[in-house]
Amino acid sequence: MRRLYRLLTRWWTAFALAASLALLGAAHAFERFADLAPCNLCLKQREVYWGAVAIALVATLWHLASRGSRGTPRIAAFLLAVVFTTGTITALFHMGGENHWWSLPAACAGGGDVDLEKLAALAFGAGPTSRPVLCDAVTWRFPAGWGLSMAGWNVLISAALAGLSLLAAKRPKDARAPRP
């Protein structure tokens, strides 16, 4: 167990990079293959993971360039904790709106990217009309029917990643430097 802890804390930015890319890939796969269009808050949650990818990539490259002599940069692990905590808060806000614990802002009425060609075609009556994706409508739950929505799962995953980032930022000195 101690060996796993040392490995995880020494290479945390690489693990965080892999986890963030896997979550972004899963989100895009749900969008592409399951036809689950993202709402505005879903896209905001993805932005958090893109921020984590940027931080983790730079820190992992730094770690490799220094030949791993000092372990994961502590500041990068702390920044990842802040980013993943932001993701947890955003996902919790989204989940609360889905469960009608509070009302969501008007900006959550529709989602997706703005395409000027589609808007122009719609203005001239030649474009297809599509309903906006509402942030308070749950389109997928696991387990089906009574489980957590994607936002609910994102709360759990982001909170776990934030906690692991804090562990990596506050690791003991013997986990930072390799033993001779």
Per-residue pLDDT tens over the stretch 85-104: 999 999 999 999 888 888 88
Confidence of residue 111 (pLDDT cuts 50, 70, 90): very low
The rounded mean pLDDT for the chain is 82
CA distances from 118 to 55, 109, 114, 131 (A): 35, 18, 8, 13
Its pTM stands at 0.79
- Given this model, what pLDDT does residue 162 score? 97
